[in-house]
Structure 1
Amino acid sequence: MNPFILFGREHLSAIGLIILASIFIPVYVKKHVPEEKEYYIRLVLGILIWGQEISLNVYRVIYQEWDFSNSLPFHLCGFAILMLPVMLYKKSYALYEILYFWGLAGATQALLTPNIDVGIPHYRFFQFFVSHGLIVFTVMYATVVWNYLPTLRSLAKASVLTLFLLIPIGLINILTHGNYFFIAHKPETASVLDYFGPWPLYLLPMIGMGVIMFLVVYTPVGFLKRKRKKVLTLDKL
């Protein structure tokens, strides 16, 4: 079994493929796919998102790895995976404005410091990057194809909801002896939390880092809004 190497060739290649797909495929769909056919793309995308999650649970059951402490969808990316197909089916802006931040901040952080210890050709390597890559891709898809963009109110909603979830997730961790949201202890694999001190001292900087990440992914929104406004102005001329 090949070990996973942080920022090794396989890791960087996976990130590169996700970035390219998340940029060029939505642009192509927006320019060349009519609205009545775009529905089927959303449908397939939703099936892929839930399908890979089902495959992960089947894998864990087969290899006797399924456990309440680590197999429930109670990480931020797990919530995103549950909600993204609903957003796709309904073209829901209310879900988008939350998932924009969970996807671009949460899944991106996961892709940069994956919580896995195996590399190619192990199933878990491919499943991890497909799972988190689909989160990023779907958020970019909605942003480009549907012209959705979050607002400052969206930023506030996502921040408050994420902080609110810490309480029930903490209770779930106690009941399951789990580590959802990584608030019971640090991940077993290398992560930025390693620089934040021992438990529980790392929790405050972890929350602060989350807020900063939300602000970082919101930064391009102003530029995109100005660009779209300029395009609309030119179209009217």
Structure 2
Amino acid sequence: MGWFGKDNKSFDFDMFSLSHFVVLAIFILMTGVIFLKRKKLSHEKWRKNEVGVAISLILFEITNQVWMYVNGIWKAGRSMPLELCNIGLILCVILLFTRKKLVFELLFFIAILGAPQAIFTPALTYNFPHFRFFHFFYAHMMVVWVTLYFTWAREYYPTFLTAIKMIIFINLLLPVILFVNKRVNGNYWFLRHKPDSPSLFDVLGPYPWYIFTLESLLIVFSLIAWLIFRKREKNYGERSHNH
């Protein structure tokens, strides 16, 4: 039924298929390019590109919401942009428009810990060249690339407080997501039950204890990510420049 069709029989996604491997290769290659070209990317001429990427992400998400509605599969309990990756996308757009350090701090761990997991093990129905395939990977990869761009090129390095702010942010959102789940009979953040398909949740204990296990893992992995990406001072000149 075409690029935007609802019928997915000819678009069934297979994890680690050729199309998935191509996407993973592009993701890894571009991540390396951002790191290697970080000095050139720090130039102010890239400001227009930041705004352009933000607009493209907005257009992709609007198109996705319209597509679900037109095809009759939009449901309040599963289609609102309330999953952590959706929230990461919203924060990514705000960061690109505003360049606010606080927005970067709220986004950093969601992007670094969540989006790559979605890219490597996508919960996706539609394969290349369906619109949903492009939407899924473009959104998730761009969230990671934008975060790394701000880290490596614009030097928005995470601090220990970044991890604390993100954990507070997530826990402030928790009651909101619980309320929405109850009102629309949804399962955002898997706060009502585990995913139906096999997943990491299966080894985290029964409901509701897996939620607390997840929170503990979030804290541990956030601290590990902070140790990896924090600002390293290589010499006295750099140290004096920072102070």
Query: TM-score band, normalised by the shorter chain?
Result: 0.7 to 0.9
In the alignment, structure 1 residue 151 sits paired with structure 2 residue 159: yes
* Residue matched to 1:119: 127
* Residue matched to 1:232: 238
> Percent identity, aligned pairs only?
27
Q: 2:228 aligns with which of 208, 220, 226?
A: 220
TM-score by length of 1: 0.87
1:125-167 CA distances to partner (integer Å, 9 max, x unpaired)? Answer: 2211111111101101111221110110111110121122211
Q: 1:199 aligns with which of 207, 213, 221?
A: 207
* Residue matched to 2:29: 20
Q: Residues 1-237 of structure 1: matches in 2 within 5 Å?
A: 1-25=10-34, 27-28=36-37, 30-31=39-40, 34-35=43-44, 37-222=45-230, 224-227=231-234, 229=235, 232=238
SS at match of 1:161: helix
Cα distance in structure 2, aligned partners of 1:161 and 1:32: 30
Structure 1 position 230, deviation (Å):
6.9
Q: What is the letter of the counterpart of residue 123 of structure 1?
A: F
Equivalent residue pairs, number:
232
Q: What is the letter of the counterpart of residue 31 of structure 1?
A: K
Cα distance in structure 2, aligned partners of 1:85 and 1:27: 24
Structure 1 position 32, deviation (Å):
6.1
Cα root mean square deviation, aligned: 2.4
Cα pair 2:42 2:154 within 8 Å, conserved = no
Seen in structure 2, the aligned counterparts of structure 1 residues 11 and 207 have a Cα distance that, compared at 3 Å, is farther
Cα pair 1:3 1:119 within 8 Å, conserved = yes
Structure 1 position 120, deviation (Å):
2.2
Q: What is the letter of the counterpart of residue 226 of structure 1?
A: E
TM-score by length of 2: 0.85
Cα pair 1:116 1:189 within 8 Å, conserved = no
SS at match of 2:140: helix
Cα pair 1:98 1:158 within 8 Å, conserved = yes
Cα pair 1:113 1:191 within 8 Å, conserved = no
Seen in structure 2, the aligned counterparts of structure 1 residues 164 and 54 have a Cα distance that, compared at 3 Å, is same
